[in-house]
Structure 1
Amino acid sequence: MSARLRFGIVGTGMMGVEHITSLALSPEVAVTAIVDPTPSSLDWARDALGDRAAGVAAYRTVAEMVREGKLDGVIIASPNHTHHDVLQPLLGTGLHILCEKPLCSSLGDAARVADAATGHKGVFWVGMEYRYMPPVGRFVEQVHGGRVGRLVMLSMREHRFPFLTKVGDWNRFSRNTGGTMVEKCCHFFDLMRLTVGAEAVRVYCSGAMDVNHLDERYGGETPDIIDNSYTVVDFANGVRALLDLSMFAEGAQEQEEIVAVGDQARLDVTIPRGDLVYSPRDAFRRPERVERTHVAVDGAALAAGSHHGATYFQHRAFLDAILNGAPVAVSAEDGYRAVEIGAAAELSARERRAVDLAELRR
């Protein structure tokens, strides 16, 4: 199939390159433009494009790219604090937009973008890859299908490596990222909303920077990003959820573990193993009733990125919305709501109190 959609990639660091390598698996798309003010990042993109790089235009700004008028869609993978300004020349153009998480680094900017996106003529999609890890998708389907009965508790654990080094060290400061609970954890707060099927009403977060980055200095400044936390989120339908985060646990065999407990059963999923474990309440006395299922993931999708194949599968859903009119699964409003919970968690950790979402809601 010849390419039907021409895409530009804004921000060609690690995540931008993952989009490039994953898009290469979708014959409906050709990357025709890349945007980044950092020459080394543009070089990473050209390396990822390989033989296809010869026909790709490089720009320093989004405005320059838009003026050329030779695109159908744009993927934004630039640093968090740039998203609001990057989106300004794109909103209202009719271009299809996939904006990486978080939608914006501040709640005010996220609200303005979400409001503006309601009038955008193209598809507007927020990049929430964790939804599209195949084992996690199967987990959510089973919870929604009633496998655990009435959902009561949802817990998520991410024990992983510290934040990687980024160009200009932008991810070491909350003013750029929105804080760890926005930058990293909006993925999990989005998954909570998706799984629970309700909006958050109250957040309590206990977290701090206790291990990582303590001896680092950038222009005389010390980083201020949370590296471990427990966050409890109460939802309007009575379900409560917990996020357990450690950014100094790179030895963990499973980076993500998610558990749903209902009034009839428990369901677990683990990444990267990709196993689902179903345990009905009577499995304590009848362990033979425990069911273990492995969810396989396409090898090419796995090799194209570092999110368990999710970037590729998210692209397929995004393209389905563009080409076939399928519903937008992750809207700008969804992106705003995830930032909202993250911002509440950051405030809670700083002020050591529970935060009602009504305090922040626009």
Structure 2
Amino acid sequence: MARLNYGIIGCGMMGQEHLRNIALLQDATAAAILEPDPVMRKAAAEAAPGAVMAGSIAELLAVKAVNCLLIASPNYLHLRQLEEIAAIRPLPVLVEKPLFTAPEDTLRLAALRAAYPAPIWVAMEYRYMPPVASMIDEAETATGGIRMLTIREHRFPFLQKIGDWNRLNRKTGGTLVEKCCHFFDLMRHILRSDPVRVMASGGQSVNHLDEVYGGERSDIWDNAYVIIDFASGARAMLELCMFAEGSRYQEEISAIGPTGKIECHVPGPGRFWPKHLGEPPVAQVIVSPRDPKGPKMVEIPVDPKLLAAGDHNGSTFYQHQRFQRAVLGVQPVEVTLEDGWWAVAMGIAAQESAVTGKAVDLASVRYGVP
């Protein structure tokens, strides 16, 4: 297998997780790194001592060994950096979510999509969590065709990021874009259908209420309900609470159809599990048929090395494996620019619905054409 020599743009918290997972891959290395923050730059240099430390995207792309890219910078930089790469040296890219942060970005995204000659994979790690992937594989058989899908995330508040960029809606796109585009992507992926209508209620109730950054008060939301109707006739709901870190499981997903229900329970990062409670919980998948009744639970353990490498139940590693195969032409890109567009469009619509108190019709309000 040919070697992947990553050029990495952004080595904050998520970029460091990517670095650790790239180190676990066969035939892959970090060849060059762009990280302006001195603390994160030092940590990245220690994690990848062979990497060239670049001062700009142009410098990074000038490193001849680099043959693919990872973008893990703050949200509002993603599209701008993709455009700069396209103008200099368009290599295969794995770009962190969200792909963009505002409706006015969509014309630029459409132009990029039409002209970019190499694969672009949008990082949606939740698809590749082993319990979620197992649930998706079994869902059609277990349910007889999903009619209702619920995703519940009860978790800790937003973590501290470099420059506190994740405390302001204008830099993140808002919580329902920044945090929840993962879940909206999962909904489309699981239901194999596009959304047509979004209804939401959300706000900032507990976290960051008195925080001010550069004269701007933090306005990032910490809870929401979102209901989405899909073209297939299925409906889905997201329940988000970011002041519920005492929960045993961080994500709980259930899918229900005429013949039964399937659920998965996913624990949060092991580093946050209280030591006095013993070992962290193990992910589960539960199938509950209607007839004959009798739920069946299977634990889905994750390789401890992968758990230690990041906060996403091993999914970052599995995502990189697939990206590697896509770069080599062995398989297609699984999370496309269109998928990334839809995930953000659903988040923008949910933010709009919660602010206005009105349902948003995605059939007429397209936020650009995917």
TM-score normalized with structure 2 length: 0.92
Give the secondary-structure state (helix, strand or coil) at the position aligned to 1:151: coil
| CA deviation after TM superposition for structure 1 residue 115, in Å | 4.2
Alignment match of 1:359 (pick from 346, 365, 368): 365
Q: Displacement of 1:118 after TM fit?
A: 4.0
2:6 is matched by which residue type in structure 1? F
Superposed displacement of residue 110, structure 1: 4.6
Q: 2-side partners of 1:113 and 1:128: how far apart?
A: 18
Moved more, 62-71 or 123-132: 62-71
Give the secondary structure class of the aligned counterpart of 1:252: coil
Identity level (%): 45
1:122 paired residue among 118, 123, 131: 118
Distance 2:60 2:46 in 1: 20
Answer yes or no: is 1:113 the counterpart of 2:115: no
Contact kept? 1:152, 1:262, Cα under 8 Å:
yes
Residue in 2 that maps onto 1:185: 180
Of 209, 212, 217, the residue aligned with 2:204 is 209
Q: Does the CA-based 8 Å contact 2:252-2:266 persist in structure 1?
A: yes
- Per the alignment, residue 26 of structure 2 pairs with 27
Which stretches in structure 1 are left out of the alignment for 5+ residues?
none
1:279 corresponds to 2:285: no
Quick one: which of 212, 215, 220 aligns to 2:215? 220
Of 174-183 and 290-299, more deviation after overlay is shown by: 290-299
Correspondence list, 1:77-96, <5 A: 77-91=72-86, 93-96=89-92
* Separation in structure 1 between the aligned mates of residue 180 and residue 39 of structure 2, nearest angstrom: 28
> Greater shift after overlay, 322-331 or 312-321?
322-331
User: In the alignment, which residue of structure 2 is the partner of 1:334?
Assistant: 339
Please provide the CA RMSD for this pair: 1.5
Give the Cα–Cα distance (whole angstroms) in 2 for the partners of residues 25 and 115 of structure 1: 35
Q: Give the stretch that moved more between structures: 57-66 or 95-104.
A: 57-66
Number of aligned positions between the proteins: 352
Equivalent residue for 1:18? 17
Aligned residue number for residue 233 of structure 2: 238
Structure 1's 199 and 5: CA in aligned 2 closer, same or farther, altered over 3 A? same
After TM superposition, the score normalised by the length of structure 1 is 0.94
Contact 1:9/1:77, CA 8 A, preserved across alignment: yes
Report if aligned partners of 1:103, 1:110 keep a CA contact under 8 Å in 2. no
- Seen in structure 2, the aligned counterparts of structure 1 residues 223 and 21 have a Cα distance that, compared at 3 Å, is same
Aligned partners of 1:156 and 1:257 also within 8 Å: yes
- In 2, Cα distance between equivalents of 1:126 and 1:219: 31
Matches within 5 A, 1:295-314: 295-314=300-319
Alignment counterpart, residue 224 of structure 2, candidates 204, 226, 229: 229
Please state whether the residue corresponding to 2:215 is helix, strand or coil: coil
Q: Could you tell me which residue of structure 2 aligns to residue 259 of structure 1?
A: 254
- Contact 1:5/1:72 (<8 A) preserved: yes
Structure 2 residue aligned with 1:345, among 347, 350, 358?
350
Deviation at 1:293, TM superposition (A): 1.1
Candidates 161, 168, 189, aligned match of 1:173: 168
CA, structure 1 residues 79+177, in 2 after alignment: closer, same or farther (shift >3 Å)?
same
Distance 1:94 1:158 in 2: 36
Give the SS at the match of 1:84. helix
State how far apart, in whole Å, the 1-side matches of 2:108 and 2:28 are.
30
Judged with a 3 Å threshold, the aligned counterparts in structure 2 of structure 1 residues 110 and 309 are, in CA distance, closer, same or farther, namely farther
> SS in structure 2 opposite 1:163?
coil
Q: Which of residues 46, 62, 65 is equivalent to 1:67? A: 62
